């Protein structure tokens, strides 16, 4: 014998709420948009009506010409059935489980039942797996350090000011600012400009010093020297 009675509560298999057994059918139809099959009296998702009828009652739904679809609430046919359901019945269809949800409860349903999260820009509920793709529409990228979303053109500044890191232009590694110069020197054989800190290869550094800072080769030893300090260099070194 079962150890419960028809007056006991059971847990709704959609929301987990304890519901009196005798009220479960009413709860499922009102709260989760389930419908009762007129043939067998069973509860099921309204958008599985065609499959249910074909499998158990051998009565497949007839498709209407011109792309018409049947409303699971009132039975009317419409070319834009989701718009019809929203405007006429105040309900929306969950994109995940296809249940009929009260329109004002659609977001809470997606959040609680399917772990959707809100976009901080447009407030649209988004499936976590697609959040990075969604944020690209707002020209935002995910920070590799804090997983927050930052405008793409501000990412470099965000990493520098908030996390004290820079992206290496050679290997794309995130490097602590205080270790950045050493990383580039040891990993990529770049050297740091003594004037502005720009990183150049040893081959290109002479050109950089000449063009960017006006350095000139010493006529005696050929070493590049700041033009303003050439006289001092000649005096002290030669």
The answer to the question of residue 120 being in a domain is no
Classify residue 32 by burial, with Cβ atoms within 10 Å: 0-12, 13-18, 19+. buried
Mark whether 178 and 195 lie in a shared domain. Answer: no
8-31 residue pLDDT tens: 778 887 778 888 878 888 888 887
- Residue ending a domain, among 142, 167, 184, is 184
The answer to the question of residue 169 being in a domain is yes
Mark whether 194 and 235 lie in a shared domain. Answer: yes
Mark whether 195 and 210 lie in a shared domain. Answer: yes
The answer to the question of residue 46 being in a domain is no
Mark whether 166 and 194 lie in a shared domain. Answer: no
Q: What is the mean pLDDT of residues 148-158?
A: 92
- Residue ending a domain, among 147, 166, 184, is 184
The answer to the question of residue 163 being in a domain is yes
Mark whether 200 and 175 lie in a shared domain. Answer: no
The dihedral through the CA atoms of 102, 104, 110, 112 has a sign that is negative
Distances (CA, A) of 147 to 131, 143, 159, 168: 11, 5, 12, 19
DSSP state of 53: I
Confidence of residue 100 (pLDDT cuts 50, 70, 90): confident
Distances (CA, A) of 196 to 26, 57, 161, 214: 74, 81, 20, 13
106-125 residue pLDDT tens: 888 888 888 898 888 888 88
Distances (CA, A) of 183 to 8, 61, 102, 161, 170: 68, 67, 57, 19, 10
Mark whether 193 and 237 lie in a shared domain. Answer: yes
The answer to the question of residue 144 being in a domain is yes
The answer to the question of residue 26 being in a domain is no
What CATH number is given to the structural domain containing 206?
3.30.40
Mark whether 175 and 195 lie in a shared domain. Answer: no
* Separation CA 183–CA 202 (nearest Å): 15
The whole-number pLDDT of residue 3 equals 52
Mark whether 180 and 135 lie in a shared domain. Answer: yes
pLDDT of 145 strictly over 90: yes
The dihedral through the CA atoms of 95, 101, 107, 111 has a sign that is negative
* Separation CA 109–CA 99 (nearest Å): 10
Which of 14-28, 138-152, 197-211 is the least confident region? 14-28
* Domains in the chain, number: 2
Nearest Cα residue to 82 out of 97, 61, 62, 98 = 98
The answer to the question of residue 12 being in a domain is no
Mark whether 175 and 204 lie in a shared domain. Answer: no
Is the Cβ–Cβ distance between 74 and 87 less than 8 Å?
no
CA dihedral 34, 38, 41, 45 (to 10 degrees): -20
Confidence of residue 1 (pLDDT cuts 50, 70, 90): very low
The answer to the question of residue 71 being in a domain is no
Find the domain containing 213 and state its range.
189-238
Whole-model pTM above 0.85? no
Is the Cβ–Cβ distance between 94 and 111 less than 8 Å?
no
């Amino acid at each position: 014998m079962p150890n419960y009675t028809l007056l006991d509560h059971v847990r709704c298999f959609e929301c987990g709420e304890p519901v009196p057994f005798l009220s479960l059918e009413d709860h499922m139809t009102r709260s989760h948009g389930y419908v009762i099959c007129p043939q067998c009296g069973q509860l099921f998702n309204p958008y599985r009506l065609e499959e249910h009828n074909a499998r158990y009652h051998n009565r497949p739904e007839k498709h209407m010409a011109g792309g018409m679809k049947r409303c699971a609430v009132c039975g009317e046919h419409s070319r834009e059935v989701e718009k019809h359901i929203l405007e006429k019945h105040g309900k929306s269809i969950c994109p995940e489980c296809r249940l009929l949800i009260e329109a004002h409860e659609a977001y809470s349903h997606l959040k609680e039942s399917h772990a959707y999260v809100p976009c901080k820009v447009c407030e649209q509920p988004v499936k976590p797996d697609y959040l990075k793709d969604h944020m690209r529409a707002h020209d935002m990228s995910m920070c590799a350090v804090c997983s927050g979303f930052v405008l793409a053109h501000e990412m470099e500044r965000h990493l520098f000011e908030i996390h004290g890191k820079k992206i290496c232009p050679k290997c794309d590694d995130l490097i602590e600012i205080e270790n950045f110069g050493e990383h580039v020197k040891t990993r990529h054989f770049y050297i740091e400009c003594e004037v502005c800190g720009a990183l150049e290869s040893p081959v290109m550094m002479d050109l950089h010093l000449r063009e960017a800072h006006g350095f000139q080769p010493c006529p005696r030893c050929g070493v590049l020297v700041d033009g303003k300090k050439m006289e001092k260099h000649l005096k002290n070194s030669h």
